[in-house]
Amino acid sequence: MTLRFVGIDPNTGGEGSPTVWVEEESADLVLQGAEADGLLTSVVGSTEWVAGHTTGIPAHERVMRITARMVPILRDACDAAERAAAEHRDVR
C-alpha cells in the first residue's frame, strides 16, 4: 500500500490533526479527523438522507468532522485521486 500525503490542517499544533492522503493503487482518499460527537453521530445515523436507504451507521464506518480549513487540501486530494485513477486505468 502506497499513501501519498496531500495535506494536514494548517492550524495543527503538532498533535493529531485532520490529515488527507491518496492511496495510490485504489485512488481512494484516506482521511484522519476528529470522530464526531454523539449529537452529530445521532443526527447522521437517524436521518433518511436518501429515500428508501437504510438509516444508521454500519459498525465498520465512522462519522468524522473535517475542519473548513481543510477544504483546499481536500480539493487537492480529489485532484490527486483523479490523476491516480486515470494512471491506474491506463496500465490495465
Look up residue 8 and give its amino acid: I
pTM higher than 0.75: yes
Q: What is the DSSP string of 30-67?
A: EEE-EEPPHHHHHHHHHS--STTPPPS--TT---EE--
Question: Can you name the residues that pair with 34 across neighbouring β-strands?
Answer: 65
47-69 pLDDT, tens digit each: 999 999 999 999 999 999 888 89
20-55 pLDDT, tens digit each: 999 988 899 999 998 999 999 999 999 999 999 999
18: DSSP letter: -
For 1, residues 6+ apart whose C-beta sits below 8 A from its C-beta are 23, 25
**Which pLDDT value is given to residue 50?**
92
**Which pLDDT value is given to residue 20?**
93
> Does the pLDDT of residue 16 top 80, yes or no?
no
